[in-house]
Amino acid sequence: MDRTLLSEQLKQLLVTECDKEDELDWQDIRNNEALFGSNSRLDLDSLDALQLSLAVQKRYGVRIEGASQGRKVLHCIDSLADHILAST
């Protein structure tokens, strides 16, 4: 799987699954920027994290297990792509 294409797909998935189409352009999301937390400009919350986790599982067949792993995996697009590539 091509990492660049995967990163683009994940950004698009994040914008659509978290209903941010009116607020965010997927192309403006940097691969290494924080997706969640006080350092994030994306204004995503725990419900968004759940939505994104479920969408990743459905689309790529990769589970994100538990809060601890979720925080690491969903830190940024790069960490999410790494998790998917390592799991497939």
What would the pLDDT profile of 3-47 be if each residue is shown by its tens digit? 999 999 999 999 999 999 999 999 999 999 999 999 899 999 999
Query: Contact, 75 vs 35, CB < 8 A?
Result: yes
Q: Which CATH superfamily is domain 3-87 in?
A: ACP-like (1.10.1200.10)
- Give the separation between CA 84 and CA 66, rounded to whole angstroms: 16
Q: What is the average pLDDT across 49-55?
A: 96
Cα gap 1→74, rounded to integer Å:
19
**Domain locations in the chain?**
3-87
* CA atoms within a 13 Å half-sphere pointing along the CA-CB vector of 14: 29
Task: Write down the pLDDT at residue 17.
Answer: 96
Residue 83 is predicted with a pLDDT of: 97
In this predicted structure, the answer to whether residue 88 has a pLDDT above a threshold of 90 is no
Check: CB of residue 10 under 8 Å from CB of residue 53: no
State the Cα–Cα distance between residues 65 and 49, nearest whole angstrom: 12
CA distance 6 to 23: 22
